[in-house]
Amino acid sequence: MSGEGDTTLKSICYKPGSLQLLDQRKLPLETTYLEIRDAADGWSAIQEMVVRGAPAIAIAAALSLAVEVSNFSGFDGSSAEAVTFLENKLDYLVSSRPTAVNLADAALKLKQVIANALASSAAEPNSIFKAYIEAAENMLEDDVASNKAIGTFGSSLLRQQAKNPDKLSVLTHCNTGSLATAGYGTALGVIRALHTQGVLERAYCTETRPFNQGSRLTAFELVHEKIPATLIADSAAAALMKDGRVDGVIVGADRVASNGDTANKIGTYSLALCAKHHGIPFYVAAPLTSVDLSLSSGKEIVIEERTAKELLNTHGGLGERIAAPGISVWNPAFDVTPAELIAGIITEKGVITKNANDAFDISSFAKKVTGN
């Protein structure tokens, strides 16, 4: 599966009964794919950062269970027991990473699919498993189309807002490209679209401490796609903006509350504050599956804390220890950027802008574009 021909990197390689995930911990020096045989393998790959990025996490989880049931030699149980089996596995997979809403949203939709299959007059375990597998495979296909739409809407928005629509430089944080999705990207998809249109002067990417997704992954993708790009230290972003080198900041999202508050990789909030100070528009690019209308604000978003080793050791915790023994560590994986700092939220259905009260009405937007 690829979002852009043979040149786009694939984080997820799937065919019926087989799933391989690119081990992103080893990039950019080594390209290794891990075989995922069941939901337990999927859970470990997500929790251990083999695969990351909210859309990719959801799809990898769904497909890991699809592979498991595809390879059943036989299921000794009733149709109701097949549904219970799938539901329990989905709940287990959701526990791998709690902050990204896409995974929980995917699980909820897949539960509805198998519930509908159970209600069918022809319901039997095999038909329920088949319905689940088809739904999981459709998620893989739909993600690429969704990301390309985000790229189109986002590039148009940035050009409309830029002083020079034919010459833009954009700063991004963490990794939101083909490695974080099924094959195209959200925020990095917008950058890719600008480059394709011939109007991108330069993309700037932060190193994204402490796991270094920017220097290891985003930089790798930008070089791979031959996009003019520069890597900066996280702490250099304010100076870059002060020098007038940035026309816009665009990031992804792991969860967006109904008021527009957005959880994304730690350091995003700092970038938004810097952008506000320097009069630079700050955008979020994410599929509607990243929106959680059940949350009234970002205060309700659960923030995952990562292992202390990511700060204590080199290479995001994978190398030798560098910090003083005995030091305590606070290592949140995400922070929440208040809606007041966000100029627009770019989705596959269009751009969510603020109303006359300078507030996002995401609920009304979602109802309008989905009909629900």
Domain end residue (candidates: 81, 114, 143): 143
pLDDT of residue 356: 93
Dihedral through CA 60, CA 66, CA 71, CA 77, nearest 10? Answer: 140
The verdict on residue 183 lying in a domain is yes
The total of structural domains in the chain comes to 2
pLDDT of residue 2: 35
Say how many Å lie between the first and final Cα of the chain, rounded. Answer: 30
Evaluate the CA torsion angle 55, 43, 107, 2 in order and state its sign: positive
179 and 164 in one domain?
Answer: yes
pLDDT of residue 89: 97
The verdict on residue 2 lying in a domain is no
pLDDT of residue 18: 96
The verdict on residue 292 lying in a domain is yes
172 and 62 in one domain?
Answer: no
The verdict on residue 4 lying in a domain is no
Please say whether the beta carbons of 45 and 243 come within 8 A: no
Within 10 A of 99 (CB to CB), how many other CB atoms are there? 20
d(CA 163, CA 149): 24
Domain coverage including residue 62: 12-143
Please say whether the beta carbons of 186 and 252 come within 8 A: yes
pLDDT of residue 184: 86
The verdict on residue 167 lying in a domain is yes
Domain end residue (candidates: 123, 143, 163): 143
Give the CATH number, domain containing residue 235. Answer: 3.40.50.10470
pLDDT of residue 121: 61
Give the CATH number, domain containing residue 31. Answer: 1.20.120.420
| pLDDT tens digits for range 82-99 | 999 999 999 999 999 877
Hey, which residues are catalytic here?
254
Q: Which stretches in the chain have pLDDT values below 70?
A: 1-9, 121-122
Q: What is the mean pLDDT of the chain?
A: 93
345 and 198 in one domain?
Answer: yes
Smallest CA-to-CA distance from 365 within 281, 282, 291 is with: 291
pTM, two decimals, is 0.84
| pLDDT tens digits for range 244-303 | 999 999 999 999 999 999 999 999 999 999 999 999 999 999 999 899 999 999 999 999
d(CA 62, CA 33): 18
